């Protein structure tokens, strides 16, 4: 009401007292009372029963007790309710900023990129709705590195040889598909499935191991069938014990490569899901993982035969490449931290003569038996030091130093020349040399060639020579047999050179290492002898290992006729045939400056430092 003497305020409705109702009828009074009480009930309900209303009240109507609490000395943010409010506000602010940034990003994108984002988002939502959501993965922009597929070689002879190797893959894959689909491996003579206990009850090792070979050979119908199997059947939820190393190099590695080659999200999802299942293996006092792990219980242990419960160098040392990619693809830093911690443990230890013993106790963090080998039990540890550096686009200086230091120690203590001049890498047992070289050790020719370019102190030429000499020795181990296939191990003692002398070392199980070295040597030198040697191996495989139902290993390479072991190893498709195919392909097919092969020959992209160097190739 305006003060006395002032006119009524403009627009204000003045109701003359004479027009006010002096009394209501009983029904009107009742209705008014009802409306009023309903209003009061609503207000009370809102105040006391709506979530967080009391906090709202205290903040809005009264002097906020939360604020008071916070001003008390020493009690800053100790009130959980207030801390929670702040967290909620901070989250809202962050989400808001994120949404703004995303919107800004989207505006800068090309229409086809926006379309791809929408498709990915749709696929994600569809998966969540069908319960396949699994791990909640962050969005990762997919770029296919160059050379995922190649073109036909110009030279007709090379072209024909390459086509022949593809035909071999068709025979190996077709036989597996026909007789052993879904099993881990094929028994090509008895034409049935074969399951190795290395994979517990995980199935389909051959499918996952072969995915990238199918892709690079452009066998897309087969690749799609394999993808379909992976989507529907590849399962890791089982109460079974697996080899952490084997599952990592074949399954995680195979899935990662399939993802990087094809861009199919299912492979990223499965790789991360499996990687997460392997993480409990690292629950040891030192963080050096167990060799064996029950995927359900997460309980690990070591091989009972391994020096006083030790973990094995080639096993815990061959997780690095895959785990670095798992962190990148999942946004989970745990993978990277676990493998970097392995490095820390190793770097704290004294190394006898600079060498890495094969056994390390995960509880005490001390070496077990002083047995050193560049073959079985040690091999791929050295390979992964070098490749970690290369895969990091040469940023991982620690990996580089560890590799070249280790190689120097190997050269000094293990590398020897036979009487007739064959270079070999022996094994070292507590200071004594065993003059034996495993088929597995033959990968070292390729590794040394791959690292030669970065060798410190002008050693590039020297290391290329070493690599070539090892390739020659390994070729000799094939050439000196009746079947022209290499034995599991060959010796340089008792008057023999590059020959197996023990019956249990005379078998050949379709291993890739010698051909792997030929492939690297060919890429770096283009010396035709490496293709010739590779072709000799193709002919021997066709003659002695090919059977109607696939390819089989043989029990004795010195026997005049093959005695088949009836196993087509999954690495025959993953590695042996892939390296042969690449040996007869041009160098821009999976080029080394963009791809690094894991120890099962699964190509993983180099993590380029310069992000503008990431090609977005459409093939």
Q: Which is nearer to ligand DMJ, 273 or 379 (CB)?
A: 379
Tokens 């042996």 -> residue:
576
599 is in an annotated binding site: yes
Tokens 């990148």 -> residue:
328
In the complex, minimum distance from the CB of residue 330 to ligand DMJ, in angstroms, rounded to a whole number: 24
Task: Assess 599 for contact with ligand DMJ (CB under 6 A).
Answer: yes
The sign of the dihedral angle between the CA atoms of 364, 368, 372, 376 is negative
Strand partners, 241: 294
Gap between the Cα atoms of 345 and 414, Å rounded: 24
In the complex, minimum distance from the CB of residue 256 to ligand DMJ, in angstroms, rounded to a whole number: 15
Q: Which is nearer to ligand DMJ, 396 or 600 (CB)?
A: 600
- Count of alpha carbons within 13 Å of 587, Cβ hemisphere only? 9
Total residues contacting ligand DMJ by CB under 6 A comes to: 8
In the complex, minimum distance from the CB of residue 179 to ligand DMJ, in angstroms, rounded to a whole number: 22
In the complex, minimum distance from the CB of residue 136 to ligand DMJ, in angstroms, rounded to a whole number: 32
Gap between the Cα atoms of 114 and 111, Å rounded: 5
Gap between the Cα atoms of 255 and 229, Å rounded: 13
Burial of residue 62, with CB atoms counted within 10 A of its CB: 0-12 exposed, 13-18 middle, 19 or more buried: exposed
Write phi, then psi, for 420 (nearest 5 degrees): -90, 5
Asked whether the beta carbons of 239 and 105 are under 8 A apart, the reply is no
Task: Assess 507 for contact with ligand DMJ (CB under 6 A).
Answer: no
Query: Which residues, other chains included, contact 515 with Cβ-Cβ below 8 Å and sequence gap of 6+?
Result: 534, 537, 576, 579, 580, 583
Binding ligand DMJ (rule: CB under 6 A), the pick from 177, 302, 600, 606 is 600
Asked whether the beta carbons of 558 and 500 are under 8 A apart, the reply is yes
Task: Assess 315 for contact with ligand DMJ (CB under 6 A).
Answer: no
Active site residue 497: no
Gap between the Cα atoms of 41 and 29, Å rounded: 18
Residues 392-421 that bind ligand DMJ (CB under 6 A): none
Print the binding letters for residues 365-384 with ligand DMJ: x by CB under 6 A, - otherwise.
---------------x----
CB atoms within 10 A of CB 2: 10
Gap between the Cα atoms of 598 and 579, Å rounded: 12
Active site residue 246: yes
3-class DSSP state of 325: helix
In the complex, minimum distance from the CB of residue 376 to ligand DMJ, in angstroms, rounded to a whole number: 8
Asked whether the beta carbons of 253 and 322 are under 8 A apart, the reply is yes
Task: Assess 257 for contact with ligand DMJ (CB under 6 A).
Answer: no
Q: Which is nearer to ligand DMJ, 566 or 575 (CB)?
A: 575
In the complex, minimum distance from the CB of residue 296 to ligand DMJ, in angstroms, rounded to a whole number: 25
Query: Which residues, other chains included, contact 576 with Cβ-Cβ below 8 Å and sequence gap of 6+?
Result: 510, 511, 512, 515, 541
Annotated catalytic residue within 209, 396, 488, 575:
488
Print the binding letters for residues 437-476 with ligand DMJ: x by CB under 6 A, - otherwise.
---x------------------------------------
Task: Assess 571 for contact with ligand DMJ (CB under 6 A).
Answer: yes
Task: Assess 517 for contact with ligand DMJ (CB under 6 A).
Answer: no
In the complex, minimum distance from the CB of residue 600 to ligand DMJ, in angstroms, rounded to a whole number: 5
Task: Assess 511 for contact with ligand DMJ (CB under 6 A).
Answer: yes
**DSSP class of residue 613?**
G
In the complex, minimum distance from the CB of residue 599 to ligand DMJ, in angstroms, rounded to a whole number: 4
Gap between the Cα atoms of 431 and 464, Å rounded: 27
Pairing of strands 489-491, 427-429: unpaired
In the complex, minimum distance from the CB of residue 564 to ligand DMJ, in angstroms, rounded to a whole number: 18
Nearest residue to ligand DMJ, by Cβ distance, number only? 599
Annotated catalytic residue within 513, 516, 556, 566:
513
Q: Which is nearer to ligand DMJ, 377 or 521 (CB)?
A: 377
Active site residue 157: no
CB atoms within 10 A of CB 197: 11
Annotated catalytic residue within 212, 222, 246, 476:
246
Annotated catalytic residue within 379, 469, 476, 575:
379
SS3 content of the chain, % helix, strand, coil (to 5): 55, 10, 40
CA distance from start to end of the chain:
81
Query: Which residues, other chains included, contact 311 with Cβ-Cβ below 8 Å and sequence gap of 6+?
Result: 284, 288, 289, 290, 291, 302, 359, 360, 361, 362
List, as residue ranges, the binding site for Ca(2+): 599
Residues that bind ligand DMJ (CB under 6 A): 380, 440, 511-512, 571, 575, 599-600
Q: Which residues are identified as catalytic?
A: 246, 379, 488, 513
């Amino acid at each position: 009401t305006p003060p006395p003497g002032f006119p009524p305020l403009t627009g204000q409705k003045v109701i003359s007292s004479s027009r006010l109702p002096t009394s209501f009828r009983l029904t009107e009074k009742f209705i008014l009372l009802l409306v009023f009480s309903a209003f009061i009930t609503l207000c009370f309900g809102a105040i006391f029963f709506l979530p967080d209303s009391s906090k709202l009240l205290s903040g809005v109507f009264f002097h906020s007790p939360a604020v008071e609490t916070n001003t008390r000395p020493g009690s800053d943010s100790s009130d959980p309710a207030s801390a929670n409010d702040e967290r909620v506000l901070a989250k809202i602010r962050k989400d808001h900023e994120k949404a703004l940034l995303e919107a800004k990003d989207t505006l800068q994108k090309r229409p086809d990129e926006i379309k791809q984002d929408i498709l990915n988002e749709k696929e994600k939502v569809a998966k969540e709705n069908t319960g396949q959501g699994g791990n909640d993965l962050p969005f990762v922009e997919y770029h296919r590195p160059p050379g995922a597929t190649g073109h036909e070689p110009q030279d007709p002879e090379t072209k024909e040889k390459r086509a022949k190797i593809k035909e071999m893959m068709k025979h190996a894959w077709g036989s597996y598909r026909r007789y052993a689909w879904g099993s881990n491996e094929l028994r090509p003579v008895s034409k049935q499935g074969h399951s190795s206990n290395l994979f517990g009850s995980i199935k389909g090792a051959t499918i996952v191991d072969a995915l990238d070979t199918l892709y690079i050979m452009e066998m897309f119908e087969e690749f799609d069938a394999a993808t379909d199997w992976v989507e529907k059947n590849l399962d890791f939820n089982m109460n079974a014990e697996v080899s952490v190393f084997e599952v990592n190099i074949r399954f995680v590695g195979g899935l990662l490569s399939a993802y990087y080659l094809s861009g199919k999200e299912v492979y990223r999802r499965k790789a991360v899901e499996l990687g997460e299942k392997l993480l409990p293996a690292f629950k040891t006092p030192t963080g050096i993982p167990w060799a064996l792990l029950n995927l359900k219980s997460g309980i690990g242990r070591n091989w009972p035969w391994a020096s006083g419960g030790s973990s094995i160098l080639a096993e815990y040392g061959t997780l690095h490449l895959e785990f670095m990619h798992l962190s990148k693809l999942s946004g989970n830093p745990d993978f990277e931290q676990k493998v970097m911690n392995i490095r820390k443990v190793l770097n704290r230890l004294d190394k006898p003569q600079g060498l890495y013993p094969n056994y390390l106790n995960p509880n005490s963090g001390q070496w077990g038996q002083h047995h050193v080998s560049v073959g079985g039990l040690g091999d791929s540890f050295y390979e992964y030091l070098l490749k970690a550096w290369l895969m990091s686009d040469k940023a991982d200086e620690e990996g580089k130093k560890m590799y070249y230091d280790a190689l120097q120690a190997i050269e000094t203590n293990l590398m020897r020349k036979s009487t007739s001049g064959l270079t070999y890498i022996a094994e070292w047992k507590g200071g004594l040399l065993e003059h034996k070289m495993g088929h597995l050790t033959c990968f070292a020719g390729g590794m040394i060639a791959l690292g030669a370019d970065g060798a410190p102190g002008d050693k590039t030429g020297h290391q290329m020579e070493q690599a070539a000499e090892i390739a020659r020795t390994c070729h000799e181990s094939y050439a000196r047999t009746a079947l022209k296939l290499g034995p599991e191990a060959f010796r340089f003692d008792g008057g023999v050179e590059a020959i197996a002398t023990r019956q249990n070392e005379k078998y050949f199980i379709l291993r890739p290492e010698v051909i792997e070295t030929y492939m690297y040597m060919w890429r770096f030198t283009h010396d035709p002898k490496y293709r010739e040697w590779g072709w000799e191996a193709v002919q021997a495989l066709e003659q002695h290992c090919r059977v109607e139902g696939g390819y089989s290993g043989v029990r004795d390479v010195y026997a005049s006729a093959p005695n088949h072991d009836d196993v087509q190893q999954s690495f025959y498709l993953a590695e042996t045939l892939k390296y042969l195919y690449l040996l007869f392909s041009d160098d821009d097919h999976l080029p080394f400056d963009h791809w690094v092969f894991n120890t099962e020959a699964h190509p993983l992209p180099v993590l380029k430092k310069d992000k503008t160097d990431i090609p977005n190739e459409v093939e």
